[in-house]
Amino acid sequence: MAAILAPIEAMGAFSDVFSNLWTRTWERILDNKGKLTATGGLLVGIVLTLTFKDLYPDLEASFRRRLGRTRTNGTYHALPGQTDYVRLEDHTRTTSKAAVDEDDPRRTVITDDLEIPTGIEGLIGNTPLIKLRSLSEATGCDILAKAEFLNGAGNSPKDRVALSIITHAEEEGLLVPDRGDTIYEGTVGSTGISLAAVCRARGYKAHICMPSDAAVEKSDLLLKLGAIVERVKPASIVDSNQFVNLARRRAEEHTANADLPGRGFFADQFENTANYLAHQNTTGPEIYAQTSGSLDIFVAGAGTGGTISGVALALKPLLPDLHIVLADPQGSGLYNKIKNGVLFSSTETEGTRRRHQVDSIVEGIGINRLTANFSAGMHLIDDAVKVTDEQAMMMGRWLVEKEGLFVGASSCVNLVAAAVVAKKMRVEGKKDARIVTILCDSGSRHLSKFWKEAGEVGGKDVEFTLDVILAKG
């Protein structure tokens, strides 16, 4: 019996000891409750802070997804720059016409999933429109420039043209990717560069014919892009060996040769209407959206004529009072065609011509024949401005000195013409007019020719005023 009671008595003793220990501990807690409360609160705060730190990114991402679904389910959003643009903090206003009218071309749709562009084709178009502060201040008008040199394939507006020509040819069954097809084109550079880049991305080869007096850096770049380059002596368009005619013949020879893979396709940028359609379908609508439909004048040069025709065809139906102005370099006959109805340049006079194509240092714009692309929109062109080489080179220096922009020859011609038009508007009392033009490509493609003649800027202060530039015309 004693053996049974012994463990029970031991357990009772242990219970008494534990009870006494708990009582003394609890009394001490009550005596120090202030200190313990503060310490406990600190520890809890640290734990909560560390936990929230780890969870915050997930919470923020979840919140933004919910916000996106709440604000974007089928809702059209106004573009930045509109007077009633809805900021992120405001969840109540969607009164813009572009926000409620599904037929308004300014509208944009924001979706839950951010679309990631695919390949270099996804980097073509939607280039920014920038205000040129120095020219705007000097003229009293808003001069805006569409930065087409930021297209992501060949870094010029010809990216749009190259993609459009290839896409249309594919739709018509004239080109088949990875069949061994080669695209042939006659160009002074920019179209060839864009074609070479897009060809590589789409499974084609490029064969470019260009005049031997074009800037050498263009042909060097074409070679780096894997294109075959033929530099030929400059000649009139009636000459069978003129660079455009040669490209057409090379394409025909390829197709006729059974030993060559695929077929030859002549891009024909001057006559292929996929050129102006690229600008009618993309460049023009982009300008309308970026200006919210508020512009008075569009200024552009013309080589093939695709840009000025396409933009005019896109914008004139929406803005009947919009003025379309051609910027034409010296030696080109288009100025007289618009002003006087006759395609003629004074440099065509016997014994005065220095070049076979256009008597100008400017490459990319200026021509002495009517193309299908220029003809498509010629009836919509209201005026023309003639720009000399000297004016273009001085404008190039001005842009570096005042804007930090280093652009090519055709961009400088566009901006001289824009400034001339702006000054005219001011004289007529039409202040605060909004003028849009095109920045075509970088000056890095014109180092050996245009910029070699324009000279070094050298970090000097502005050497001349805008009025001095315009007086050189």
Query: Which residues belong to the active site?
Result: 158
Q: Identify the burial level of 105 via C-beta atoms within 10 angstroms of its C-beta, where 0-12 means exposed, 13-18 middle and 19 or more buried.
A: middle
Alpha-carbon span 37 to 436, nearest angstrom: 70
Give which of 452, 438, 447 is closest to 150, Cα–Cα.
438
Q: Are 412 and 469 in contact, with CB atoms under 8 Å apart? A: no
Give which of 164, 156, 166 is closest to 188, Cα–Cα.
156
User: Dihedral through CA 174, CA 175, CA 181, CA 184, nearest 10?
Assistant: 70
Q: In what order do the strands lie in the sheet with 182-186?
A: 228-232, 205-211, 182-186, 264-266
Produce one character per residue of 363-383: b if its CB has 16 or more CB atoms within 10 Å, e if not: bbbbbbeebbbbebbbebbeb
Alpha-carbon span 186 to 237, nearest angstrom: 11
**What are the angstrom distances between the C-alpha of 356 and each of 234, 243, 353?**
6, 12, 7
Sign, Cα dihedral of 52, 53, 55, 56: positive
Alpha-carbon span 473 to 469, nearest angstrom: 8
Q: Identify the burial level of 320 via C-beta atoms within 10 angstroms of its C-beta, where 0-12 means exposed, 13-18 middle and 19 or more buried.
A: exposed
